Structure 1
Amino acid sequence: MKKNIPIAKLKNLTVEISNSTIENTSKINVFLMNTASVFLFLLKIIKNTFSKGFEFKEFIKQCHQIGTKSFALISVTGTIIGLVLTIQSRPILLKFGAINMLPNMVAISLIREMGPVITALICAGKIGSSIGAELGSMRVTEQIDAMEVSSANPIKFLIIPRVLAATLMIPILSIYADALGLLGSWIGTNIKGELNLYLFVSQAFGKVDFIDFVPAVIKSFFFGAVIGLVGCYKGFNAGRGTESVGIAANTSVVTASFLVILVDLIAVQITDLFL
Structure 2
Amino acid sequence: MIAFGDWWLFSLRAVKGIAQRAFGSRDFLRLSVEVGTNSVSVVAITGMFIGMVLAVQAYGQFHTIGLETSLGAVIHISVVRELGPVLAAVMLAGRVGSAMAAELATMRVTEQLDALACLGVDPVKYLAGPRLLAALFLLPLLTVLADVMGLLGSSLICLHVYNIDSFHYWRHTREFVKVWDVMVGLGKAFVFGGVLSLIACHRGFNSRPGAEGVGRAATEAFVVAFVAILMIDFVLAMLANTVYALVWPPTNAKVV
Question: Secondary structure of the equivalent of 1:242?
Answer: helix
Q: Note the C-alpha offset of 1:35.
A: 3.3
Structure 2: how far apart are the matches of 1:69 and 1:51? 28
Mark the CA change 1:104 to 1:55 in structure 2 (over 3 Å): closer, same or farther.
same
The residue correspondences of 1:82-231 to structure 2 (distance < 5 A) are: 82-189=51-158, 190-193=160-163, 201=170, 203-231=172-200
Tell me which amino acid in the other structure corresponds to 2:215: G
Measured in 2, the distance between the counterparts of 1:52 and 1:133 equals 24
Letter matched to residue 241 of structure 1: G
Q: Distance in 1 between matches of 2:5 and 2:235?
A: 23
Q: Which runs of 5+ in 2 are unaligned?
A: 245-256
Letter matched to residue 96 of structure 1:
I
Pair 1:238 & 2:229 matched: no
- CA shift for structure 1 position 164: 1.0
Query: Computing the radius of gyration over CA atoms, which structure comes out larger, 1 or 2?
Result: 1
Aligned partners of 1:234 and 1:103: how far apart in 2?
A: 41
Secondary structure of residue in 1 paired with 2:176: coil
Q: Contact conserved, 1:79 with 1:185, CA < 8 A, in 2? A: yes
Give CA deviations for 1:114-166 in whole Å, capped at 9, x if unaligned: 11112212211112111111111111111211211222332232110001111
Q: How does 1:35-74 map to 2 (within 5 A)?
A: 35-74=4-43
Counterparts of 1:163 and 1:155 in 2: how far apart (Å)? 11
Contact 2:81-2:182 within 8 A present in 1 as well: yes
Please say if residues 79 and 180 of structure 1, whose CA atoms lie closer than 8 Å, have aligned partners that are also in contact: yes
Q: Does 1:254 align with 2:232?
A: no
Deviations 1:37-89 (A, max 9, x none): 22321232233322244422211111110111011101110110000000111
| Cα deviation, residue 36, structure 1 | 3.6
Please state whether the residue corresponding to 1:193 is helix, strand or coil.
coil
CA RMSD of aligned residues (A): 1.8
Shift of 1:187: 1.8
* Deviating more after overlay: 68-77 vs 43-52: 43-52
Tell me, what secondary structure is at the counterpart of 2:161? coil
Change in Cα spacing, 1:173 to 1:201, as seen in structure 2 (3 Å) is farther
Q: Sequence identity of aligned pairs in percent?
A: 33
| Distance (Å, rounded) in 1 between the aligned partners of 2:28 and 2:99 | 16
CA contact (8 A) 1:127 1:227 kept: no
User: d(CA) in 2 for partners of 1:201 and 1:71?
Assistant: 27
Contact persistence 1:55–1:156 (CA under 8 A)? no
CA drift at 1:192: 2.8
The separation in 2 between residues aligned to 1:42 and 1:182, in whole angstroms, is 35
Deviation digits for residues 213-247 of structure 1 (CA, Å, limit 9, x no counterpart): 12211111110001100000000111222211001
Aligned residues between the structures = 243
Question: Could you say which residue in structure 1 is the equivalent of 2:254?
Answer: none
**What are the superposed Cα offsets for residues 15-52 of structure 1, whole Å, 9 maximum, x if unpaired?**
xxxxxxxxxxxxxxxx53x2342232123223332224
Q: Find the aligned partners of 2:161 and 2:21 in 1 and give their Cα distance.
A: 56
Amino acid at match of 2:162: K
The answer to whether the Cα contact below 8 Å between 1:119 and 1:173 also exists between their aligned partners in 2 is yes
User: 8 Å contact 2:15–2:125 — kept in the other structure?
Assistant: no
Deviation at 1:199, TM superposition (A): 7.7
